[in-house]
C-alpha cells in the first residue's frame, strides 16, 4: 500500500453527473463494482450499516468490492435527522478480519460532523467522550483535535487497539472524517458537501491501513 494521504478534500461541489462519473472511475481503478442508487427496501445488496443506517436513509453511488484483501463498500447516504436538518455522508466500510471481541467506539472531533454528534447522542448515549491516555501518553496532535467515544469500561481495550503511534498517524492523516469501529467493521464518514477523486482514494487507502492496524492489535485484547 502507498503512503498515507491527508483526508481533507478540496474543490467545488461537482454536478450529479460529474460525481457519478468520478465514482465509476474510482470503482474501476480500485477493483470495485458500481451500482449507483440502491433501495434498502427492494434491492438485493449488502447494506452499509453503522451509525447512519435508518429506515429512511437514501443511498446513491453504491460500490462494493475487495481492495488489498479487504472487503470494502462505499455509499453516499442522505437522511433527515430529528432536528429537521438533512445531512449527506460519504461512507466507506471495511470488513474486519479479527474474531476478537472488539468494543464499539468512535473517533471524531467537535470541529466537524454536526450530523455525527446528533446521531451519536440519540443512538448511543452510553458512549462518552473520553481522552485516551489511561495506559500511555498520547500525542497532543491527536488529543487536542479528536475525542474518543467509548464506554468507560472499554477505554483500556480501545487503547490497545488505537495505540499512541496509530493515534499520531490518525492526527496527521484522518482529519475531516469520523471513524466508527464495531466488532465486524471499520467505517469512515465524511460530512463534506463535496466529493473528490482524491477524497475517495484517500479514504480507501487510509481505511485499509487502519483496518490492518486494528486487526493486528486485536490479537492482544
Domain ranges of the chain: 16-220
Distance CA 3, CA 26 (A): 18
Distance CA 75, CA 27 (A): 11
Distance CA 212, CA 209 (A): 5
> pTM of the full predicted structure?
0.90
Distance CA 155, CA 153 (A): 6
Q: Is 182 exposed, middle or buried (0-12, 13-18, 19+ CB in 10 A)?
A: middle
Residue 210: what pLDDT? 98
Residue 10: what pLDDT? 37
Distance CA 59, CA 51 (A): 14
Which residues, 6+ apart, have CB-to-CB distance to 154 below 8 Å? Answer: 103, 104, 105
Distance CA 220, CA 46 (A): 30
Residue 115: what pLDDT? 81
For residue 51, the number of C-alpha atoms closer than 13 Å in the C-beta half-sphere is 35
Residue 182: what pLDDT? 97
Instruction: Kindly give the parts of the chain with pLDDT less than 50.
Output: 1, 7-14
Residue 111: what pLDDT? 72
Buried b (16+ CB within 10 A) or exposed e, 91-103: bbbbebebebebb
Distance CA 33, CA 152 (A): 40
Mean pLDDT of the chain: 89
Distance CA 24, CA 63 (A): 9
Q: Are 161 and 102 within 8 A, CB to CB?
A: yes
* Cell numbers placing 202: 484517500
Amino acid at each position: 500500500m502507498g503512503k498515507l494521504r491527508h483526508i481533507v478534500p478540496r474543490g467545488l461541489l461537482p454536478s450529479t453527473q460529474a460525481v457519478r462519473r468520478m465514482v465509476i472511475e474510482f470503482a474501476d481503478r480500485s477493483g470495485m463494482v458500481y451500482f449507483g442508487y440502491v433501495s434498502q427496501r427492494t434491492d438485493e445488496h449488502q447494506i452499509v450499516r453503522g451509525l447512519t443506517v435508518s429506515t429512511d436513509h437514501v443511498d446513491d453511488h453504491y460500490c462494493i468490492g475487495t481492495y488489498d484483501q479487504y472487503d470494502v463498500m462505499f455509499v453516499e447516504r442522505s437522511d433527515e435527522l430529528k432536528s429537521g436538518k438533512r445531512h449527506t455522508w460519504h461512507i466507506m466500510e471495511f470488513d474486519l478480519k479479527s474474531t476478537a471481541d472488539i468494543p464499539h467506539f468512535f473517533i471524531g472531533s467537535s470541529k466537524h460532523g454536526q450530523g455525527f454528534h446528533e446521531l451519536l447522542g440519540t443512538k448511543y448515549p452510553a458512549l462518552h467522550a473520553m481522552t485516551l491516555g489511561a495506559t500511555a501518553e498520547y500525542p497532543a496532535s491527536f488529543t487536542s483535535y479528536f475525542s474518543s467515544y467509548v464506554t468507560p469500561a472499554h477505554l483500556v481495550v480501545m487503547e490497545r487497539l488505537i495505540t499512541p503511534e496509530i493515534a499520531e498517524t490518525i492526527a496527521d492523516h484522518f482529519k475531516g472524517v469520523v471513524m466508527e469501529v464495531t466488532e465486524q467493521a471499520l467505517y469512515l464518514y465524511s460530512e463534506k458537501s463535496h466529493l473528490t477523486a482524491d477524497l475517495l482514494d484517500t479514504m480507501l487507502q487510509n481505511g485499509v491501513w487502519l483496518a490492518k492496524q486494528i486487526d493486528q492489535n486485536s490479537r492482544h485484547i
